[in-house]
Amino acid sequence: LRGTLLGELAWQVGPDPKNQFPNTVQEVWLEVGFGAGEHLMWQAAHHPQVGMIGAEPYEMGVAKLLTKLEEMPLNTVRIHEGDGRDIIEALPDSSLGRFFLLFPDPWPKTRHHKRRFLQMEMLDQLARVLKDGAELRFATDDKSYLPYALERLMAHPAFDWLAEGPSDWKNRPADWPPTRYETKAIKGPPTFLRFRRRDRLAA
């Protein structure tokens, strides 16, 4: 049953991501590294007009999400069992309304920093696939990844930080549910970053 469900919900690379969702879907969001899928499921359930793509390379995480979808079927979820970079590279320009990267592997050793997801080259790709005004959400509990990510996001010409004060990055927004990792395995105070894709004409 689970294999059949994955087959039905597997993300297929194509020119128009909305074609893989019901006609009621008005825009598409992407979460890379969805873990056990709690956040992805919450977003899909609370935004029925949104098509949610989730990318997760670990089989255990995919299996946990499929279990949740067996219990609460949602036909607006699509799953990619692999690297989220593959999806981003294949997406057409201005095709995403929101992007989530929550508690990614920090690759703490300096020699491994090049493996971190948020590189300037990836931000170039995200700037390409995000619509004007789309939101990029990033969370981490790693003290070294936070300044690394902030430095790159602040330096990139396509993104504006939406924070107006400390509470905006210290407190999780109301429409940002906690993940299982956040409640059980977190290593320090989490930081929640929200960036907006600048309008292309104004850039």
% residues pLDDT > 90 (the chain)? 70
Q: What's the one-letter identity of residue 61?
A: G
What's the pLDDT tens digit per position in 110-132? 786 888 989 999 999 999 999 99
State in Å, rounded, how far the first CA of the chain is from the last one: 48
Enumerate the active-site residues: 105
pTM assigned to the model: 0.92
What's the pLDDT tens digit per position in 34-69? 999 999 999 999 999 999 999 999 999 999 999 999
With the C-alpha atoms ordered 145, 195, 48, 9, is the resulting torsion angle positive or negative?
Answer: negative
Measured CA to CA, the distance from residue 99 to residue 109 in angstroms comes to: 26
Confidence of residue 172 (pLDDT cuts 50, 70, 90): confident
